[in-house]
Homo-oligomer: A and B are copies of this chain.
Amino acid sequence: MKLASDNTAGASLEILAALSKANEGNVGSYGGDDHSHRLNQRFSDIFEKDVVVFPVVTGTAANSLALASLTPPHGCIFCHELSHIYHDEYGAPEFFTNGARLQPISGESGRITPDQLKALEVRFPPGDAHRVSPTTVSVTQLTEYGTAYSLDDLAAIGDYTKKQKLSLHMDGARFANALIGLGCTPAEMTWKCNVDVLSFGATKNGAIAAEAVIFFNPVQAESFAIRRKRSGHLLSKLRFLSAQLEAYLDNDLWLNNARQANQMANELKTIIDNSGKGTIQFSVDGNMVFTTINKDCQTDLRQAGFEFYDIPEYGKNVVRLVRSFNTTTQDISDFAVVINR
């Protein structure tokens, strides 16, 4: 069983069925189809606000296109030093923004705080002719540490960015998992905290390849369509991408998948806690468990077929266990058996 990533799972059957259905008939290309036409309204309903939505195939594209919409080449994006945009996208944000700066911040448990942002102000005096221009803050919800920002955390950051006239981007590759973890509404976790743009992830939580970039402030979306085209991310048969997003939202598939994954992660956490073989590193707020496990036990688990990543940058012997929507109770029981040997 693979615990390495939520990308090793396939897709929900509902998503596949939606593709077959979307295949019927000849329709307009490049978004001239009904599935694509419906997306804005569909997400507007879910977010309780008129939003503008663009589907793309990867989280890297979603984040980078979103950031490039918010950030000129001479701008500066504040983000966590181990955030996906800084640490795991091979400089994609720099490519898409034509060379903007990402200023890393070493926040605890993957979160950054307004105090940290405030402390950096001294380096960016307004109107300075030599420093890059602070323009953007990016937060990840769930963070790469599997933790969630609380609504208060987000509100504090959103108050800060609004006051400082910075844009606020949220990388929501695991948005649904965070939402279930917090038990709040999509609106509460985003624009009510002044989030301007959201990378709304679906791929990790059951889609084939589908992310939505959601603008809560339509004026910021003005250059998006052009950037998407110029970067080769406008699909000609866009219906197949839009249909995935529709199916993802239909019948709460997205929420159910995330709930299942989170629950499995919590059971895993309990098993590890009880086993005495490892120490949970961070609060388990979604579907990821970071834990130390001693080397012998790691070997046993891997020999038993469990796959997972070492994450040395998070500490010695730290491994990451990621639960997907398709993790079963049986998988968890098997894990318990091996770790308790």
Query: Which positions in A face B, CB cutoff 8 Å?
Result: 1-2, 4-5, 7-11, 13, 16, 19-20, 22-30, 56-62, 64-65, 72-74, 76, 87-92, 94-104, 122-123, 129-133, 203-204, 208-209, 223, 225-227, 229-237, 239-241, 312-313, 324, 326
Chain B residues within an 8 Å CB radius of A5: 29, 236
Contact call B23/A10, Cβ cutoff below 8 A: yes
Name which of A87, A89, A100, A236 has the most chain B CB atoms within 10 A of its CB. A236
Closest to A314 in B: B122
Contact call A237/B10, Cβ cutoff below 8 A: yes
**Distance between Cα atoms of A237 and B10 in the complex (Å):** 7
Q: Quick one: given A225-B129, A237-B203, A240-B209, are A91 and B26 in contact (CB under 8 Å)?
A: no
Closest to A25 in B: B10
Closest to A312 in B: B122
Contact call A229/B89, Cβ cutoff below 8 A: yes
Task: Report copies per complex.
Answer: 4
Which A-B residue pairs are the 3 nearest by beta carbons?
A61-B232, A94-B99, A7-B29
**Distance between Cα atoms of A7 and B236 in the complex (Å):** 6
Contact call A208/B19, Cβ cutoff below 8 A: yes
Contact call B26/A8, Cβ cutoff below 8 A: yes
Chain B residues within an 8 Å CB radius of A24: 10
Contact call B230/A90, Cβ cutoff below 8 A: yes
Query: What's the minimum C-beta distance from A264 to chain B, rounded to whole angstroms?
Result: 14
Some 15 contacts from A to B, beta carbons below 8 A apart, are: A10-B22, A10-B239, A73-B95, A74-B227, A89-B230, A90-B229, A90-B230, A91-B132, A92-B230, A95-B99, A95-B231, A98-B99, A122-B312, A122-B313, A231-B232
Chain B residues within an 8 Å CB radius of A1: 26
Q: Quick one: given A99-B95, A232-B64, A237-B209, are A7 and B22 in contact (CB under 8 Å)?
A: no
Contact call B203/A236, Cβ cutoff below 8 A: yes
**Distance between Cα atoms of A9 and B29 in the complex (Å):** 9
Q: Quick one: given A90-B230, A91-B132, A100-B91, are A2 and B16 in contact (CB under 8 Å)?
A: no
